[in-house]
Every structure is written in structure tokens, then in C-alpha cells.
């Protein structure tokens, strides 16, 4: 492993790409030290601490959102929205490509059509930044965490104009950084930026465990973790990471036979290979969709419950408080509904992205077939059955990964920003992006006859070493 890492810096092109990527990520992290104009950071820290200590749904919601924005919910900076507006816009357009004829035509045009779709995605990103930025600033204004000089009518206009402009410019700048990493760096730029924001939370989680660990066989209090609890967290982290890697790379390999063709005295084809179908074909998309959908009712119910007054009808107040209490992040009805939505979106995403009919048609055109099945509709039916079965397994694993952080946070009294490293969307994103980055570096090393990060063997025996 150490030798492979040294080899990375022996190759000028690969070294420059790695250093450029690290430099862009460093610039990304610097942006979290630039605060928004007019925000009272001290009051925001106090509000976030009170919400976290009280365990309110609002505090859990802010903690969950901060995992993807890359910063702490105790601060508000120009990168406060993160890269999520661009990712959300890209997902929306990817889904629309299967329903809107115009987008389908652009997709078939190749590079030129994809460039047009990318342009529309950028415009949609700006629109989402404007909406989300305004909502975030409106919330801070309602909580009284705006500096006094920005509370007058003129100051309010300046506060909203400067704040929304800064948040929008920050997200657009991160989008540009991701595109530069795609061109001159290594790996997927947007995914690396999102991963860097998630990993940036790990030092704070480790520090919390260090300062709240009671070295006794039992928990030392409501805010402490005993030795057994610490051992459980470490073992659970290793097991969940290993399981995430396994389910990310797991495949169902379907044997494919290529038909033989005779031309003159020579016979071509007849080879046997495999069609790999990913067990977790949808990736992290089902969790992202389910979590995003559940954020809205939790936010609406929380706002509705806080607006209840003593003059409100008793039946209405009781109903609102009941719904708000049961649909807070981590509650039993919330978890059940999240599991149902994960299964739904797993099948929905697989249906949108994977087409058994197109796959069967491609096999027929290439002169290949599945042994024992006739090409055409019978092959498509078989592929649809197999994909449905493995999607059920993949969705079950995603549901398990999604609920682990909420269960650990609820029953062990651990903050969500600590338990989030035991599962959830963040962990799956880090694992998938890490595997993709390792595979890209591996391919660059092997292409130049160096030993890779994952391969072993005597590289001296390989011809052309050092060329």
C-alpha cells in the first residue's frame, strides 16, 4: 500500500491531478470560515445548542441537513447550502429524461444534447438556491438571530439581498469547483465535494466521544458513553462500513453466451461471459428521496405546533402535537414511513434507470443470449424478475442502513452527528465515492505498469516498467 502511494507521486500526470483535487477541496473548506452578512453567529450557536440539548425535532432536522451541507448547523456561511441544490437539480432532470420527450431527444443526441441538459440543470440550481436561501434567511429572522442594524426595513432588504446572493454564489462556485475537478483532477468532482463535507464532521464526532466517554462498564450518565458502549460503536462502525462496501460492489452475474458465426473456414464468437447486475442498483438515491420527502412534513408540523396558542381549539392543538411528536426525526412512525419510502423509491429508480426490454434488445443485436432462454420478450421477462428480486434485497439493506443512526441516537443518547457515521446516506456516499476514487487511481497505476492499490504481485516482471 505504501509503495503504491509513493508510485502515485512518481507519475507526473497522476500527481498533478491528485494535488489539484486536494487544492480544490482545501478551497472548499476555506469557504466555511466566511460568515454571512448580518447573522448574529453567537445567537445562532445558542439556538443550535438549545435545540440539540432538548432533542427537539428541529435540532435533529438541522443536524441531519448539516451533514450534507458540509458545515455545522451552529454557523451560517456563504457555503451554507453546500452542493445539494445542484445534486437535487441533477436528480430531477435525470428523472425527467424518462418522462419528457424533449429531454429524451436531447439525450439521444449525445454530447451536444447532454451539454444542453447540463445548462438547464445549472439554471435550475440557481433557482433552487434562491428559494432555499430565502427560506433559511427568513427562518433566522423569525428566530431573532439577525444583528440589530439589519432589523429596520432598509436593513432587512440589505440582509436578504446580500444573504441570498452570497448563498447562491457559494453553491454556484462549488458547482464550478466540481466541474474543474472533473476536468483537471481525479474522481467525480461533485461527489468528492459532498464527501469532503461529510468527512469534515468526523473530527467533531471523535472529540465528542473522547470527552463524553466514561471508562466504566456502564454508561456514566445521560450524556456519557461507557466502555461497552464505546466498544459497541467501534465494532458497529467497522461492520457497517464492511457491509456497505460489500453491498456497493455486490453483483448478480447472469451467464451470457455469444452465438457462433462461421465465415469461410473460420469460426467467430461462441465465447461465454457474464452480465453483471448490481444488487444495490439505485445507490443512495432512495435514501435521499425518502429523507428529503420526510423533511417537509416534519418541518410543517414543527412550525404548526410552535404556532399553537392557548386560544387554539383543544382538539386541534392535541392533534397537531400528537402528529408533531410522532413524525419527528427518529420516532417509530417516522422510521416505518422512511422504510416504506425507501422500498418504493428503490423500485422506482431501478425502473427508471434499468430497462429489461432495451437490455434484451441489445443482447439480440450483439448476437448474445442467456442459455435456456429465447432472445426477446422471454429474456426481458427473466431480467425483470431477477432485477426485482435483487432490488428487494438491496432496498432492505438500504432501509437497515438508514435507520441505524436514528436508533443508536435514540436508545444510546448519542447526538445524531456522531451516530450518522454508523449508517445513513452520508456513510453510503463516502463508501461509494471512496471506492470509485480508489478504482480510478488503480486504473492509472496499472495503465503505466505500476502496482495498484488493490493488486499484488511482482511488478518487476511486468514489461515496460518505468516507461
DSSP codes joined into one string, 373-392: S-TTHHHHHHHHHHHHHHHH
**Geometric angle at alpha carbon 287, from 284 and 291, rounded to 5°:** 140
- Give the pLDDT confidence score for residue 258 in this predicted structure: 78
Q: Where are the domains of the chain?
A: 14-200
Q: Using alpha carbons, list the distances in angstroms from residue 368 to 251, 278, 380.
A: 20, 20, 13
- Give the pLDDT confidence score for residue 114 in this predicted structure: 84
Task: Report how far residue 130's alpha carbon sits from residue 11's, in angstroms, rounded to the nearest whole number.
Answer: 43
DSSP helix/strand/coil, 257: strand
Is residue 46 over pLDDT 90? Answer: no
Sheet holding 368-369, edge to edge: 272-278, 251-258, 368-369
CATH level 2 (architecture), domain 14-200? Orthogonal Bundle (1.10)
- Give the pLDDT confidence score for residue 161 in this predicted structure: 92
Tens-place pLDDT, residues 63-115: 666 666 655 555 577 888 888 888 888 878 877 877 788 888 888 787 888 88
Query: Which grid cell is 79?
Result: 457555503
- Give the pLDDT confidence score for residue 123 in this predicted structure: 92
Closest to 171 (Cα-Cα) out of 90, 52, 255? 90
Share of the chain above pLDDT 70, in %: 83
Statement: the pTM of the whole predicted model exceeds 0.85: no
- Between 428 and 57, the more confident residue is 428
- Give the pLDDT confidence score for residue 441 in this predicted structure: 84
- Give the pLDDT confidence score for residue 127 in this predicted structure: 92
- Between 131 and 145, the more confident residue is 131
Is residue 467 over pLDDT 50? Answer: no
The most confident of the ranges 45-54, 219-228, 298-307, 410-419 is: 410-419
Is residue 126 over pLDDT 90? Answer: yes
Pairing of strands 368-369, 272-278: unpaired
- Give the pLDDT confidence score for residue 165 in this predicted structure: 92
Tens-place pLDDT, residues 255-288: 888 777 666 666 666 677 888 888 888 877 788 7
Is residue 405 over pLDDT 90? Answer: no
Closest to 45 (Cα-Cα) out of 131, 174, 35, 295? 35
Question: Using 50, 70 and 90 to split pLDDT, how confident is the model at 462?
Answer: very low
Average pLDDT over residues 247-251: 85
Average pLDDT over residues 335-352: 87
Question: Using 50, 70 and 90 to split pLDDT, how confident is the model at 463?
Answer: very low
Is residue 56 over pLDDT 60? Answer: no
Closest to 24 (Cα-Cα) out of 204, 187, 203, 201? 187
- Give the pLDDT confidence score for residue 457 in this predicted structure: 46
Q: Using alpha carbons, list the distances in angstroms from residue 366 to 118, 260, 402.
A: 31, 11, 40
Mean pLDDT of the chain: 79
- Give the pLDDT confidence score for residue 220 in this predicted structure: 46
- Give the pLDDT confidence score for residue 173 in this predicted structure: 92
- Give the pLDDT confidence score for residue 23 in this predicted structure: 92
Amino acid at each position: 500500500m505504501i509503495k503504491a502511494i509513493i508510485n502515485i507521486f512518481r507519475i507526473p500526470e497522476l500527481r498533478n491531478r491528485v494535488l489539484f483535487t486536494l487544492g480544490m477541496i482545501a478551497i472548499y473548506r476555506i469557504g466555511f470560515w466566511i460568515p454571512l452578512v448580518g447573522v448574529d453567529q453567537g445567537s445562532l450557536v445558542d439556538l443550535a445548542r438549545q435545540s440539540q440539548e432538548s432533542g427537539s425535532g428541529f435540532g435533529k432536522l438541522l443536524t441531519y441537513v448539516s451533514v450534507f451541507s458540509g458545515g455545522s448547523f451552529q454557523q451560517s456561511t456563504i457555503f451554507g447550502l453546500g452542493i445539494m441544490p445542484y445534486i437535487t437539480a441533477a436528480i430531477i432532470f435525470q428523472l425527467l429524461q424518462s418522462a419528457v420527450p424533449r429531454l429524451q431527444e436531447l439525450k439521444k443526441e449525445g454530447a451536444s444534447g447532454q451539454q444542453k441538459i447540463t445548462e438547464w440543470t445549472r439554471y435550475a440550481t440557481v433557482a433552487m438556491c434562491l428559494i432555499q436561501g430565502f427560506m433559511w434567511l427568513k427562518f433566522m429572522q423569525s428566530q431573532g438571530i439577525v444583528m440589530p442594524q439589519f432589523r429596520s426595513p432598509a436593513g432587512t432588504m440589505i440582509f436578504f439581498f446580500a444573504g441570498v446572493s452570497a448563498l447562491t454564489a457559494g453553491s454556484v462556485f462549488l458547482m464550478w469547483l466540481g466541474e474543474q475537478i472533473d476536468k483537471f483532477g481525479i474522481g467525480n468532482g461533485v461527489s468528492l465535494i459532498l464527501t469532503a463535507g461529510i468527512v469534515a464532521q468526523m473530527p467533531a464526532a471523535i472529540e465528542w466521544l473522547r470527552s463524553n466517554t466514561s471508562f466504566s462498564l456502564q454508561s456514566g450518565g445521560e450524556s456519557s458513553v461507557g466502555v461497552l458502549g464505546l466498544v459497541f460503536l467501534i465494532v458497529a462502525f467497522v461492520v457497517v462500513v464492511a457491509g456497505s462496501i460489500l453491498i456497493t460492489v455486490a453483483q448478480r452475474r447472469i451467464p451470457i453466451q455469444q452465438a457462433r458465426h462461421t465465415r469461410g473456414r473460420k469460426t467467430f464468437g461462441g465465447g461465454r461471459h457474464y452480465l453483471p447486475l448490481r444488487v444495490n442498483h439505485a445507490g443512495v438515491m432512495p435514501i435521499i428521496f425518502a429523507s428529503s420527502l420526510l423533511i417537509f412534513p416534519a418541518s410543517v408540523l414543527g412550525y404548526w405546533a410552535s404556532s399553537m396558542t392557548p386560544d387554539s381549539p383543544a382538539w386541534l392543538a392535541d392533534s397537531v402535537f400528537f402528529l408533531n411528536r410522532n413524525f419527528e426525526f427518529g420516532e417509530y412512525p417516522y422510521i416505518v414511513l422512511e422504510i416504506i419510502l425507501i422500498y418504493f423509491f428503490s423500485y422506482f429508480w431501478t425502473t427508471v434507470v434499468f430497462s429489461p426490454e432495451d437490455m434484451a434488445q441489445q443482447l439480440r443485436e450483439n448476437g448474445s443470449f442467456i442459455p435456456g432462454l429465447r432472445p426477446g420478450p422471454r429474456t426481458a421477462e427473466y431480467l425483470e424478475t431477477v432485477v426485482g428480486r435483487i432490488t428487494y434485497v438491496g432496498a432492505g439493506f438500504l432501509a437497515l442502513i438508514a435507520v441505524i443512526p436514528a436508533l443508536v441516537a435514540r436508545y444510546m443518547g448519542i447526538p445524531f452527528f456522531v451516530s450518522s457515521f454508523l449508517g445513513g446516506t452520508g456513510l453510503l456516499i463516502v463508501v461509494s465515492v471512496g471506492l470509485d476514487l480508489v478504482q480510478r487511481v488503480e486504473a492509472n497505476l496499472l495503465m503505466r505498469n505500476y502496482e495498484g492499490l488493490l493488486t499484488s504481485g511482482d511488478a518487476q516482471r511486468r514489461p515496460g516498467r518505468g516507461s
